[in-house]
């Protein structure tokens, strides 16, 4: 049974050109985003998750360049589009929410104008009256009271600004929203409300969401599937319940065990040894091998391929991969 | 030596008595006239009292703008309170002369969230740690001072210390930088460490290492921590007691497990429920309180949480509830709590 994929990413790589050498921040990542799902993409700082998120919209800036791969979005390869065509996809079909909404909103434009302008740009046929009415409806759905619409971005709280960002994506009738650390600058209660909103929007609008975050708790709270990145590579992907119940990759295992869990009664946190490697000089073979408690000889030489390790669960680890002659 | 007596009544190391801190808001002459000469102020901390016992990890939690970091600075007298008393080891810090305060400062240290911002980029790690030694331990010889820096680097797990002594902060990792900041704080042999979000910047896999280090150092150096955090999940692993702040007021205080298992204040309840659990089988279904944190310039009357509280009655908007001890050692400021 083939899942209905909205976005299929194949062997996608992004490099940064630096004075000390080229850094491959995303290394041959392949993954599918299914229509209507919330896919959580997790990893620690500098694992390449944000570079991947930006790369998917071809939003990368100069020292970065895409060095290979396919971006099959809803039947088209985004890599073959011109910059002009890409802009209509970016604003229209793929919406974005970043960690700091203040940098994405125009400080001298009212919230209402943000919304109506977006609607006009992508649907030039709409009248001013229609655009305003739709903006009002959207805002109401997202819990932004009508009297706040004439406000400027700085007059709103962080949580409200994130709601505005989402409403912009919805105003465009985006098929996919890429949200990069959307709750990281929010307080827990505001974060919880924002996550409720994401869940409601997915249900009501059939929105597909790629949620990029370092927060394991947030992923557990809202995603259907989860993808784990380590040192520029995808190491595990699958159903969120399966991965949390039985993580296969030793990195995923360590990561999940080192997260403080408020629902548990104390005990000790698991300490993963070492720290992620520098991407300037990544270790050979599996990049996790210097920290891995189950390291084998082959891990030091060869990069493990992604293999099925369970129903709707794949991992890149020699513990499960083909081991010729072993 | 600080470990004098370890009998049933724990020694008080820090005591805050009705401490208030207001920050005046800058405003023009016209605004002054309209306010009849009263300058509006951010009421960052409003009449709070608590004690920190020697040898405990005292957590202070709350959302942004709750006043928790201001309390940390008041404890170290980096800020002077608008009203109230701050006592360290029974010495009233307010009104202490600069020289007396400096001598006392070696007994209390601060660790911030961002180690890169706390370290001088043009000082080597050795110099950074040596700096407080040259101020507070002037009677040691040069060689003894250097030995002391090397010893403390070893204690925070920077091994071998000679390799790190001459490195600059940008040459080591974020986790190592936070270790250096801890080393610098510990080198004068303090009794109290105020740690303001000490691990918030670190990655998950590094956080556990840092927390473990902090707890080992506490044992080794007989430390007391004021652990300021927004992360209630981490607090559960490290704190002995915890105080919850909302808009400059303490709303709950007690032994960590009693607070988490027998919540008394509706705000604490909401905070605890809001923390995402890293388990997809335990997703939250409880609704969150309506609205957002109001301004600390014009906080709501009565209980400051009442406009967002689902249990609020008339009394809550009229009268501010005091902290009341409702369970052994466990206080809450709520008219509805039982």
pLDDT per residue as tens digits for the range A170-187: 887 889 999 999 888 888
Which pLDDT score, from 0 to 100, does residue A40 have?
A: 97
CA distance B231 to chain A (A): 9
Token pair recorded at residue B282: 């335990």
Q: Domain residues of chain B, as ranges?
A: 12-107+190-291
ipTM above threshold 0.85 = yes
Write down the domain spans for chain A: 5-223
- Within an 8 Å CB–CB cutoff, is residue B291 touching chain A? no
pLDDT of residue A325: 40
Distance CA(B135)–CA(B120), nearest Å, equals 17
Candidates B66, B204, B229, partner chain A, best to mutate (most A CBs within 10 A): B204
pLDDT higher than 80, residue B35: no
> Is the pLDDT score of A87 beyond 60?
yes
Indicate the pairing of strand B224-229 with strand B57-61.
Answer: parallel
* Reported confidence tier of residue B3, pLDDT bands at 50, 70, 90: very low
Q: pLDDT tens for residues A201-223?
A: 888 888 999 999 999 999 999 99
The 10s digit of each residue's pLDDT in B47-70 is: 999 999 999 999 999 998 899 999
> Is A192 within 8 Å of chain B by CB?
yes
Looking at residue A93, the DSSP 8-state letter turns out to be I
> Is A214's Cβ below 8 Å from some Cβ in B?
yes
Euclidean distance between CA atoms B333 and B264, whole angstroms = 9
Q: Indicate if the pLDDT at residue B5 is higher than 60.
A: no
Question: With an 8 Å Cβ cutoff, are B292 and A218 in contact?
Answer: no
Say if A191 is an interface residue toward chain B (CB within 8 Å). Answer: yes
For helices B204-221 and A250-257, angle between their N-to-C axes, nearest 10 degrees? 50
Instruction: Give the pLDDT of residue A218.
Output: 96
Mutation for testing the B interface, residue in A221, A225, A262 having most B CBs under 10 Å: A262
Q: Of the candidates A94, A54, A99, A95, which has an alpha carbon nearest to the alpha carbon of residue A191? A: A99
User: Distance (Å, rounded) from C-alpha A113 to C-alpha A149?
Assistant: 9
Is the pLDDT assigned to residue A30 strictly greater than 50? Answer: yes
pLDDT band for position B6 (50/70/90)?
very low
Average of per-residue pLDDT across B263-279: 96
Q: What is the pLDDT of residue B4?
A: 43
Q: Which CATH architecture has domain A5-223?
A: 3-Layer(aba) Sandwich (3.40)
Cβ–Cβ of A275/B272 closer than 8 Å? Answer: no
Contact flag A189-B271 (C-beta cutoff 8 Å): yes
Q: Do A258 and B208 touch (CB under 8 A)?
A: yes
Asked which of A60-74, A277-291, A305-319, B25-39 is least confident by mean pLDDT, the reply is B25-39
B282 contact residues in A (CB cutoff 8 A): 263
Residue B9 has pLDDT above 80, yes or no: no
How far apart are the CA of A92 and the nearest CA of chain B, in angstroms? 31
**Model confidence, pTM:** 0.90
A residues 271-310 lying closer than 8 A (beta carbon) to B:
271-272, 275-276
Chain A touched by B216 (CB under 8 Å)? no
pLDDT at residue B247 in the model? 95
- Which among A184, A187, A226 is the top mutation candidate for probing chain B, defined by the most B β-carbons within 10 Å of its own β-carbon? A187
pLDDT tens digit string along B213-228? 999 999 999 999 999 9
CATH architecture for segment(s) B12-107+190-291:
3-Layer(aba) Sandwich (3.40)
Does A45 contact chain B (CB < 8 Å)?
A: yes
Total CB pairs under 8 A between chain A and B: 123
Quick check: A283 pLDDT over 90?
Answer: yes
Provide the percentage of residues in chain B whose pLDDT is more than 90: 77
In tens, the pLDDT along A39-62 reads 999 999 889 999 999 999 998 888
Q: Which residue of A has its CA nearest to B261?
A: A265
Measured between beta carbons, the chain B residues lying within 8 angstroms of A245 are: 281
Give yes or no for a contact between B157 and B216, defined as CB atoms under 8 angstroms apart: no
Residue A90 DSSP symbol: I
Q: Rounded CA gap, A126 and A132, in Å?
A: 10
pLDDT band at A299 (very low <50, low <70, confident <90, very high): very high
Q: Is the pLDDT of residue B40 over 60?
A: yes
Residue B29 contacts by C-beta under 8 Å, 6 or more apart in sequence? none
pLDDT of residue A326: 41
Residue B234 backbone phi and psi in degrees, to 5 = -65, -40
- Contacts (Cβ under 8 Å, ≥6 apart) of B37: none
Q: Across chain B, what does the average pLDDT equal? A: 91
B183 touches chain A (CB under 8 A): no
C-beta separation of B19 from B84 below 8 A: yes
Residue A65 scores a pLDDT above 70: yes
Which carries the bigger pLDDT value, residue B5 or residue A236? Answer: A236
């Amino acid at each position: 049974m083939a899942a209905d994929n909205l976005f299929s990413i194949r062997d996608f790589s992004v490099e940064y050109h630096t004075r000390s050498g080229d850094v491959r921040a995303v290394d041959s990542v392949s993954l599918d985003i299914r229509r209507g799902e919330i896919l959580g993409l997790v990893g620690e700082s500098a694992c390449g998750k944000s570079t991947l998120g930006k790369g998917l919209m071809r939003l990368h800036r100069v020292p970065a360049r895409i060095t290979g791969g396919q971006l099959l979005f809803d039947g088209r390869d985004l890599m073959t589009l011109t910059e002009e065509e890409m802009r209509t996809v970016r604003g229209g079909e793929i919406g974005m929410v970043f960690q700091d909404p203040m940098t994405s909103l125009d400080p001298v434009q009212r919230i209402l104008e943000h919304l109506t302008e977006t609607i006009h740009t992508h649907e030039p046929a709409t009248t001013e009256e229609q655009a305003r009415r739709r903006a009002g409806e959207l805002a109401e759905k997202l819990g932004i009271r009508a009297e706040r619409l004439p406000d400027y971005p700085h007059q709103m709280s962080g949580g409200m600004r994130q709601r505005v960002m989402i409403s912009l994506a919805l105003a465009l009738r985006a098929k996919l929203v890429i949200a990069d650390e959307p709750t990281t600058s929010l307080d827990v209660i505001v974060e919880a409300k924002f996550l409720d909103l994401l869940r409601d929007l997915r249900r009501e609008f059939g929105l597909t969401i790629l949620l990029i975050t370092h927060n394991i708790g947030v992923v557990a709270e809202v995603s259907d599937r989860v993808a784990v990145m380590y040192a520029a590579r995808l190491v595990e992907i699958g159903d969120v319940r399966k991965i949390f119940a039985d993580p296969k990759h030793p990195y995923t295992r360590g990561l999940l065990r080192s997260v403080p869990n408020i629902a548990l009664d104390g005990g000790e946190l698991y300490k993963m040894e070492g720290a992620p490697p520098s991407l300037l000089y990544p270790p050979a073979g599996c990049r996790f091998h210097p920290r891995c408690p189950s390291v084998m000889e082959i891990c030091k030489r060869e990069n493990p391929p992604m293999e099925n390790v369970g129903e709707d669960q794949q991992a890149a680890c020699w513990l499960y991969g083909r081991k010729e002659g072993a | 030596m600080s470990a004098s007596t370890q009998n049933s009544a724990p020694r008080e190391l820090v005591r805050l008595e009705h401490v208030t801190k207001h920050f005046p808001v800058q405003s023009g002459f016209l605004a002054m006239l309209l306010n009849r000469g009263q300058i509006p102020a951010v009421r960052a901390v409003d009449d709070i009292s608590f004690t920190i016992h020697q040898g405990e990890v005292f957590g202070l939690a709350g959302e942004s703008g709750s006043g928790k970091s201001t309390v940390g600075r008041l404890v170290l007298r980096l800020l002077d309170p608008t009203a109230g008393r701050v006592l360290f080891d029974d010495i009233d810090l307010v009104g202490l002369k600069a020289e007396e305060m400096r001598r006392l400062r070696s007994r209390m240290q601060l660790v911030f969230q961002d180690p890169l911002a706390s370290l001088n980029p043009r000082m080597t790690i050795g110099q950074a740690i040596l700096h407080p030694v040259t101020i507070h331990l002037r009677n040691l010889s040069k060689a003894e001072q250097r030995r002391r820096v090397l010893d403390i680097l070893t204690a925070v797990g920077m091994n071998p210390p000679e390799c790190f002594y001459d490195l600059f902060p940008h040459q080591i990792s974020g986790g190592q930088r936070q270790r250096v900041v801890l080393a610098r704080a510990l080198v004068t042999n303090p009794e109290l460490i105020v740690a303001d979000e000490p691990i918030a910047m670190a990655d998950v896999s590094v956080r556990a290492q840092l927390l473990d280090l902090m707890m080992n150092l506490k044992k080794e150096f007989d430390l007391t921590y004021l652990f300021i955090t927004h992360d209630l999940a981490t607090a559960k692993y490290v704190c002995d007691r915890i105080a919850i702040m909302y808009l400059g007021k303490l709303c709950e205080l007690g032994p960590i497990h009693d607070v988490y298992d027998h919540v008394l204040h509706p705000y604490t309840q909401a905070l605890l429920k809001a923390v995402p659990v890293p388990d997809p089988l335990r997703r939250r279904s409880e609704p969150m309180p309506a609205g957002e944190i109001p301004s600390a310039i014009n906080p709501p009357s009565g209980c400051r949480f009442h406009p967002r509280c689902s249990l609020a009655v008339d009394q809550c908007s009229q009268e501010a509830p005091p902290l009341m001890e409702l369970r052994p050692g466990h206080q809450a400021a709520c008219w509805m709590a039982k």
